[in-house]
Amino acid sequence: MKYFNYITQVWYAEMHQVLHNFGLIIFSILVPLAYPLLYTFVYTNETVREVPVAIVDECHSNMSREFARKVDACSEVEVLYHCDVAQAQELMRREKIYAYLLIPSSFDKDIAKGRQTYIGLYSDMRCMLYYKAALLSATNVSLEMNADIKTNNYLRPTTDRQAEIMKAPVTNSYVPLYNPQSGVASFLIPAVLMLIIQQLLFLSIGTSMGITREKNGGSGIPSDNPYFRNPLCIVIGKALFYVPLFMLIALYMYAGVTDWFSLLSLGDYATFLAFIFPYVLACTLMGISMSAFLYRSEDPMLLYIFMSVPLLFLSGMSWPVAAEPMFWRYVSWLFPSSFGTHAYARIMGTGATLHEVAFEWKGLWIQCAVYGVTAIMVYWHELRRIKDTHFLRHKQGFLCFFCDYF
């Protein structure tokens, strides 16, 4: 009963602190609600269509025009200009176009003579998506025209069916699973959502710790609260506040954000809940452990904000894990977000069940155990420091290293 009382008092103290500080309310409630919406809004168009390109047609034949027409008809690009090379280069410099196609003057002659002809694709490399769009449309048109030329000029089919077979002796189809429009939002947002949970948990817990330390002369234990006695109870009490709060936020992301922006949602609630609980718990315990280094309420912002971007890349959602150096892969296992982003993306995106995300799920539980121990050690250390009268006597001298304003 005594311990139960300790836990509830710590829980209450934490809630009181968060709800009575505007800065903490921002981090733990307002930003988690608003930021996913803002971020998803940025990427909501998903794909790049109608990239402006120019065509430099030095051939002016029937066939080269057919090529130009077919390129223009692709959804990826829009042919805005027909001009010469110098003009195209100038347009590129002026950012009016991002690529141009150069059809050589010998284009139709080469084809008529049965020689290969080369169409140059000159693309600005400022953005991979522009290059991808230009290359994809040019390749698709060339494949289609190649099949026509091959069949009509050389193979000479007798029936329509034979022509079809000659064009494509083996047909193929490409099925982009789980994200049919190859959208940017669909692959980026799940990772960002999970990172938001982790980073905001770190920020909230760190800021709360900073505030406590500022009030209590550098100690993480409030001096006016007699219930902060047992490290285990402190950690449980704090976790009991943050875990349900961020579980609710995660549910809001899962149900709300995903639905409003029509992101992928193939996962089911049970799997999601079974995964999100260890994730939020691991983040909370890691946040408590890391708060050992934070002595002021502003410190977490300095430390955590810039980490978001490396962590996004470390998670392996954008840069493939297969191409990650082993060292960084091991480092990524230190952070719950690396497991969390993969598991969430696969649960939501591919409808994976717990069985398929078992590796990540186990990883999260191991992190819970490890960071649970370190979190308890942090508070054990804090409590010992208070008890240590020797420490108290030298408190002034020791703390000025961290907090010189005391």
Partner 1 sequence: MFPRHKSIWRRILSLCLTDVREYLKRPLLLFCLLGAPLICIIFFTTLMWSGLPTNLPAAVVDEDDTQVTRQFLRTLDAMEQTEIVAHFHTFGEAREAMQKGEIYAFFYIPEGTTEAAIASRQPHVSFYTNEVYFIPSALLMKDMRMAAELLGLSLTRETLYGKGLTPDRAMGILQPIVIEKHALGNPYLNYSVYLSNIILPGLIFILTMLCTSYVIGEEWKKGRQKLLYRDMNYSQTTAIAGKVLPITIIYSFFILFTDVYLYRFLEFPCECGVLNMFVWGVLGVLASQGIAILFFGIFIGQMRFSMSVSSLWGILGLSLSGFTFPISAMHPVLQYLCWLFPLRHYYLIYVNQALNGYSIAYVWQNVVALLCLMLIPFVVIPRYRKAFLKAQYKP
Stretch 285-314 residues interacting with partner 1 (CB under 8 A): 293-295, 297-299, 301-303, 305-306, 308-310, 313-314
Q: Quick check: 41 binds partner 1 (CB under 8 A)?
A: yes
The site map against partner 1 for 188-227 (x = CB under 8 A) is x-x----------------x---x--x-------------
Choose one: 160-168, 224-232, 362-370, 377-385; the region binding partner 1 (CB under 8 A): 160-168
* 163 touches partner 1 (CB under 8 A): no
Binding mask 324-363 for partner 1 (x = CB under 8 A): xx-xx-------------x--xx--xxxx---xx-x----
Q: Are 189 and 39 in contact (CB under 8 A)?
A: yes
Do residues 186 and 179 touch, judged by C-beta distance below 8 A?
A: yes
Name the segment binding partner 1 (CB under 8 A); options: 80-88, 246-254, 279-287, 398-406.
398-406
255-259, Cβ contacts within 8 angstroms, sequence gap of 24 or more: 257/36, 257/37, 257/40, 257/189, 257/193, 258/348
Considering the rule CB under 8 A, would residue 71 count as an interface residue with partner 1?
A: no
Helix (H) or strand (E) holding 53: strand 51-57
Query: How far apart are the C-alpha atoms of 205 and 193, rounded to whole Å?
Result: 18
- The token pair at 1 is 């009963």
**In the complex with partner 1, which residue's Cβ is closer, 353 or 374?**
353
* Under rule CB under 8 A, residue 177 binds partner 1: yes
CB 4 within 8 A of CB 236: no
Residue 186 DSSP class: H
CB 280 to partner 1: min, Å: 21
Give the CA radius of gyration of the chain.
30
By CB under 8 A, is residue 170 in contact with partner 1? yes
User: What element of type H or E holds 82?
Assistant: strand 77-82
Least distance from C-beta 275 to partner 1, angstroms? Answer: 13
User: Between residues 11 and 27, which has the closer beta carbon with respect to partner 1?
Assistant: 27
